[in-house]
Amino acid sequence: MILLKQTKKRYLLCLTLFLIFTNFLSLKTLKNVELKDIKIYGSKIFSRKDIITNSSLNLPTRLIFIRTKFVEKELKLNLSLENVLVSRQIFPFGLRVLIKTRRPFAYGEKLLNGKKISGFIDKNGFFINKKYAERTVLDESALQVFGWQENSRKTLSKILTAQKNGEFELVKISFSQNGYLTLEEKDLQTVFLGFNQNLIEAQLQIIGNLKNQLNKNNFTGKIDNVDLTDPNYPKIKVFKP
């Protein structure tokens, strides 16, 4: 009988503690998140203000009502991030923002509403606004990309991968406003690739083959340009002495 009473008391105590803890958590999730409650990890270049400015967060807002996945998508896009994880926290209270930045591979420039925006390009072809880049100084020989466009990112990524693998030595990549693609290569000079970005893999293979042939044959002439707009019929123009 005594044991039964003790068991009942323990049960009531545990239940009481559970209800107190549950109510405490409920009150915490209903508490307003202030600017000071945002904690940023993984990068020192971003401020709490950057998080607010580049997302739909409108503080103060109750913790439970913050749509973390939606905020993640906004920050990843607007801050040119490789990845970002936004999570609600009770202990310590607030919003935890874990950031992974993109690493600049080349200098970049794009047009936004008719205005030139300077920045960097990562190895996957993503544009990084200069003020959101961890590293702002590249080697003097770093590649330059002009006219970056979102719809050309995959094409650019393939070009940068070939460059990184040492298949050729590009100096400049240029996209015109209407999408015409031109490369500047150390030995081949100007390489015209044209509008059809579906041909990029075949075009890159030809560029690599041309470089190999030049090296094997110890070519001493000077090439003016290479036209690969139709990879089935490549045209090479050489300077005549």
pLDDT one-digit tens code per residue, 171-180 = 999 999 899 9
**Percent of the chain clearing pLDDT 70 (strictly above):** 84
User: Band of the pLDDT at 89, cuts 50, 70, 90?
Assistant: confident
The segment(s) of the chain belonging to CATH 3.10.20.310 are 29-100
Task: Output the pLDDT for position 23.
Answer: 46
Q: How many other CB atoms are there within 10 angstroms of residue 27's CB atom? A: 9
Task: Output the pLDDT for position 77.
Answer: 92
Q: Which two tokens stand for residue 122?
A: 């990562």
Superfamily of domain 29-100: membrane protein fhac (3.10.20.310)
Which whole number is the average pLDDT over 4-19?
A: 51
The segment(s) of the chain belonging to CATH 3.40.50 are 103-238
Residue 239 and residue 145: Cα distance in Å, rounded? 26
Task: Output the pLDDT for position 126.
Answer: 94
Task: Output the pLDDT for position 139.
Answer: 78
**pLDDT, greater one: 12 or 214:** 214
Task: Output the pLDDT for position 66.
Answer: 87
Res 26 pLDDT > 50: no
Q: Let me know if domain 103-238 sits in CATH 3.40.50.
A: yes
For 73-84, write each residue's pLDDT tens digit: 999 999 999 999
The mean pLDDT of the chain is 85
Which whole number is the average pLDDT over 57-80?
A: 91
